[in-house]
Structure 1
Amino acid sequence: MSGMDLDGFIVHAERLNEASARIFKLSPRKILLQNSFSVPLVFVFHLHPQTPFITTMKFSLVLASVALLLPSLSGAVKLQYDNTYDNRNTALTSVSCSDGANGLITRFGFQKFGDIPQFPHIGATSSVAGWNSDQCGTCWKLSYTNGSGKTKSIHVLAVDHAGSGWNVAQAAMDELTGGQAVALGNVDVTEKKVAVSHCGL
């Protein structure tokens, strides 16, 4: 392929996770893919020496990119307890998901934490941006793996805003960690949004 400038060469390739096409920009011996996680994945390709066409491409994923990508895939966040969410008599007017079109008072008629099905499996999450967020009343599967490698999961209803990760009722964290909420303080969990039926709605 001597004399052929590959800079700026555009190849249409099929996305691995969708049936639609992606565009890859090739430069000599490198291909840079900007993926949906905004993490650059760097690959190396080799050209067949006997033909003016690209007949083979051997992709080698840079390990550092994998390390950056994994947290996004797993949905890992911090979780801690806040006794605010243990009090069943707390009025829903005190949280972000109160009234408004997306609020729990408006949608379900709940007035207190204790009115929510599966209380005290409630909490605050960074997914709720603030008052009347469209993430109010969403249900999340939170999974914790202890030091022995045993994983426990619970479902928690989003009722409030958190700056980062999750703040949940101590009772919920105790259930998740085998009664270790106070001893542990905070833990790493994975989060996955699921159908609200898992939270009793």
Structure 2
Amino acid sequence: QTAKINQGNIALKRVVESIANGDSHVPFRDSKLTMLLQDSFEDDKSKILMILCASPDPKEIHKTISTLEYGAKAKCIVRGPHTPVKEEDSSSTVILGSRIAAMDEFIMKLQMENKLREKERNEAHKKLMKKEEEIAELRAKMETAPASEEEINLKVNERTRLLRQELEKKLQECQRMTNDFVELERKRMEERILQQQEEVEILRKRLEEIELQLHCTSKKE
């Protein structure tokens, strides 16, 4: 069914082109659709209305241009039994020229919109590439994070070891100073004790001398 519809549309397009070009033979018998429309095309009192369906998507610009060209040719149809378009007719030439100019303007507008869409796509692509680079950098940082953490741990351990060594050194120095102080105080105490012993000995001798003198004095009396 779809193939038959397409065949009818193609036949209709050939009929429109033949009438617009002023061909002596118009292939109305190529399909049932064109055979049914033959009277409408040949009767100058009939009215022909063609609705074109075009897409605003820049990707479909070639199909859009083809559709507009098809419509422009349909506008050039002069109804009558195989009446060709006369180029010497100034009014028809002016109308045809204005229609072509309008079509060219529309095509130019589509091309400008296509360039704008292309620019927007390029900018979006650049932003996407930038985001992908940022994601790649984050992934690289995440992959190298364990190594950095290990390096930090090594530095912390090394710093801790150095601090412990310094602390042990300080403790040893304090212990040495304490020992020196204790030894010094011990010597001082020994000297004091020795001095006191000497003083006691001197006093004892002095006491003995006094006692001896007293004893001698008592005998004389």
Asked if these proteins are the same fold (TM beyond 0.5), I'd say no
Q: Which gives a bigger RCO, structure 1 or 2 (Cα 8 Å, sep 6+)? A: 1
**Which one has a larger percent helix, Structure 1 or Structure 2?**
2
TM-score, normalising length from structure 1? Answer: 0.18
TM-score, normalising length from structure 2? Answer: 0.17
**Which one has a larger percent strand, Structure 1 or Structure 2?**
1
Greater radius of gyration (CA): 2
